[in-house]
Structure 1
Amino acid sequence: MKYSKLDAKDHAREHMRGIWAAALNPFHHDGSFNEAGLRSNIRHWVDDLDIQGLFIAGKQGEFFSMSLAERKRNFEIAVEECDGQAGTIMSASDQNFDTVLELARHAQDCGADYIVVHAPMLHFVTDPDDTVYNYYKAICDQVDIGIAMWSHPDSGYLMSPELCARIAELPNIVAIKYSVPREMYVRLSHMVGDKIHVSTASEVEWLDNIEELNWKLYLCSSPPYQLQTKNDRRMHDYTQLAFQGRFTEARQVRDSLDPVRRAILDTKPGGKPQAHGKYWQELLGQIGGAVRSPLLQLTEEEKARTREAFEACGLKL
C-alpha cells in the first residue's frame, strides 16, 4: 500500500481528486468476461479522456452477476492497466461479510488505492444506525486500505448525515458515495468539512457542488466516458475551469453538453441502464458487449432509437 492506515485520510485528500468513473464491464455474448475489452476501455479512459480514477466492479460493472474469482481478476486488471496513471477504488460490496473482507484484502494486496463498500441490506432491524456503524467499524478494524461508504436506496434505507459523520471518524474512512437527495449531502458536506470526500453520482450537479460545496471529487458513474471522446472532452474541460474558479466559462461548457445528456436520457429504457450504457459505448468506439442475466439486453428497436439520438447529439468523434 502507498500509505498507512492512519494516513489514509491525508492520502485521499491529496490523491483522490478530479473525475473518477464507474466502469461498465464488457462481457462476450456467451457471457464470458471480456478482459481484453476492459483493458482497451481503460486505456482509452485514462490515456485519451484523462479520467483520474476508476470505480471497479460496482453495480455498473454487474458485480452481482460475477463470481468471486472474476471480481478479484477485475481488480487485478484495473490495477495493471492504471499502473499509477489513474487511481482505483474497488467495490468490495456484498451481503456476505466474509466476502467483503476477502475482496477488501485482495484489493489491498493487489495494489488498489481504495475500496468502496455498499451499506448492507438489513432485515428486522430496529436500530439501523448502530448496526451500520458497527458494520463499517468491523471492516475498518480488519483492513488498512482506505474505505469509501456508499449509501443508496437499494439498501432499503438511506444513511443519515449524522450516521455518516459518525462513521467518518473511523481512521481509514476516506469518502462516501452518497446517492441521496441534495439537501442530505449538502448537510453532510458541512458537517464533515474536508475530513472525508463527499460525492454523488449526478454529473448534472457536479459543477454546482464544486462551486457551492468546494467538492474535489466526482465519485462516480459512467458519464465521464459516455459524454466525452478523445476529440471532445467537455466534462474534463468544465471541471478544470471550475477548479480554477472560472465558473461562468465552466457553466457555458457544461450547458453545451445538454443535447448529449438528453440523447442518453431520452433513449435509456427503464431497467436497462447497463445495456444502454454498453451500446452507447459501442457507438463511441469503445467495447460494450452484452449484459448478464438477470439483466435484459436492448431490443433492436431500442438500439435504433439510441443510434439515431447519438448521431444527432453533437459529440465530436
Structure 2
Amino acid sequence: MKYSKHDAKAYAKENMRGIWAAALNPFKEDLSFDDAGLRSNIRHWIDDLDIQGLFIAGKQGEFFSMTLEERKRNFEIAVDECGGKAGTIMSVSDQNLETVLELAQHAQDCGADYIVVHAPVLSFVHDRGEVLYQYYKAICDKVDIGIAMWSHPDSGYLMQPEECARIAELPNIVAIKYSVPRDMYVRLTEMVGNRIHVSTASEEEWLDNVEQLGWKLYLCSSPPYQLQTCFDKRMNDYTKLAFEGRFAEARKVRDSLDPVRDAMKISRPADKPQAFGKYWLELLGQVGGRVRRPMLELSDAEKSAVKTAFEGCGLKL
C-alpha cells in the first residue's frame, strides 16, 4: 500500500489522474485466458499510448465469465506489467459479498492501487439508501485500499447523488464511476467533487467535463486504446490541451476524431460489444481474441463491415 486508509482520499486526488482505460481481456481459440496477449496489450497501452491507468476485470474484461482464480491472476498480471508506470484499479464486483471481499483483499495484497465495486442488484428493494451505505461500509471496514463506487443501469437502478455523497464520507472511498445522465453527475460533482473523483465512461463528454466541472480523471472505458495509435494520440493531445486551459484548441482536436467515433458507431453490432472491441483491437495490431458465453462472436459479414469502417476512419497507423 502506498497510502494509509485515512490518507486514501488525498492520495487519490493527487495521483489518480488523467486517462484511465478499461481493459478488454483476450481469450484464446480454446477460450483459455491469454496471459501473453494481455501483457502485450498492456505494454502497448502504457508504453506507446501513454495511458495513465488501467481498469482491470470489469465488464469490458468479461469478469462475469471468469473464474475467481482467473480474476486474481488478471490482477497480478496487470500489477506486474504496469510496474509503477501506470495505475491500476481492479473490479472486485460480484453479487456475493464474500467474493467481493476475497478479491478486494487479493487486490490489496498483490499491489493494486485501488479497487472498484459496482452497486449490487437489489431485488424487491425500493428504499435503497441505507442498504447501499451499509454495503459499501462493510467493504470499507474490511480493507484499507481506496475504493471507487460504480453505478450503472445494469444494477436495475441508479444510485442517487445523495446516496453517493453519504457513502463518499467513508474514509477509503476515493472515486465513483458514475454511468448516469449528465445532470446527475453534475449534481454529485457539486456535492463531493472536492473530496473524491467523479467520472463517467463517455469519452465524448470528457472534454466538456474537464472544462465545465474541473474533472481530472477519465474513468474509464475502451476509447483510449481504440481511438489512438502510436502515431495518432489525439485523445491524449486534447486532454493535455484541456488540462492546460487551452479549450478552443482542445475542441478542434477532439472534434477531429468524429470520423473515428462515427466509424465505430455505424459498425458496432448492438448485441456484440466485446466482440466488436476485440476485432477493432486486432485491426489496430493489438491482441483481441475470442469472447466467452454469454457474449457472441462477430459473423464474417459483421467483421467485413467493421473492417471497411475502420479503413475509412482516418486513424494513422
The TM tier, using the shorter chain, reads over 0.9
Q: How does 1:1-317 map onto structure 2 within 5 Å?
A: 1-317=1-317
In structure 2, what is the Cα distance between the partners aligned to 1:261 and 1:127?
A: 39
Q: Which amino acid in the other structure matches residue 64 of structure 2? A: F
Q: Which amino acid in the other structure matches residue 230 of structure 2? A: K
In structure 1, what is the Cα distance between the partners aligned to 2:55 and 2:194?
A: 21
Q: Which amino acid in the other structure matches residue 222 of structure 1? A: S
Deviation for aligned residue 1:29: 1.4
Deviation for aligned residue 1:194: 1.7
In structure 2, what is the Cα distance between the partners aligned to 1:154 and 1:126?
A: 16
Give the superposed CA RMSD.
0.4
Deviation for aligned residue 1:20: 0.2
Alignment partner of 2:31: what SS? coil
Deviations 1:243-285 (A, max 9, x none): 0000000000000000000000110001211000000000000
- Identical positions, percent: 77
In structure 2, what is the Cα distance between the partners aligned to 1:44 and 1:264?
A: 21
**Which moves more between the two structures, 124-133 or 254-263?**
124-133
Q: TM-score, normalised by structure 1?
A: 1.00
Q: Which amino acid in the other structure matches residue 301 of structure 2? A: E
Q: TM-score, normalised by structure 2?
A: 1.00
In structure 2, what is the Cα distance between the partners aligned to 1:79 and 1:268?
A: 31
Deviation for aligned residue 1:71: 0.1
Q: Which amino acid in the other structure matches residue 115 of structure 2? A: I
In structure 1, what is the Cα distance between the partners aligned to 2:266 and 2:308?
A: 11
In structure 2, what is the Cα distance between the partners aligned to 1:134 and 1:266?
A: 42
In structure 1, what is the Cα distance between the partners aligned to 2:202 and 2:269?
A: 18
In structure 1, what is the Cα distance between the partners aligned to 2:193 and 2:186?
A: 11
In structure 1, what is the Cα distance between the partners aligned to 2:15 and 2:42?
A: 19
Deviation for aligned residue 1:126: 3.1
Deviations 1:212-256 (A, max 9, x none): 000000000000000000000000000000000000000000000
Q: Which amino acid in the other structure matches residue 201 of structure 1? A: A
Stretches of structure 2 that go unaligned for 5 or more consecutive residues are none
In structure 2, what is the Cα distance between the partners aligned to 1:129 and 1:31?
A: 40
Deviation for aligned residue 1:130: 0.6
In structure 1, what is the Cα distance between the partners aligned to 2:18 and 2:194?
A: 15
> Which consecutive aligned stretches of 4+ in structure 1 deviate over 3 angstroms post-superposition?
none
User: How many residues end up aligned between the 2 structures?
Assistant: 317
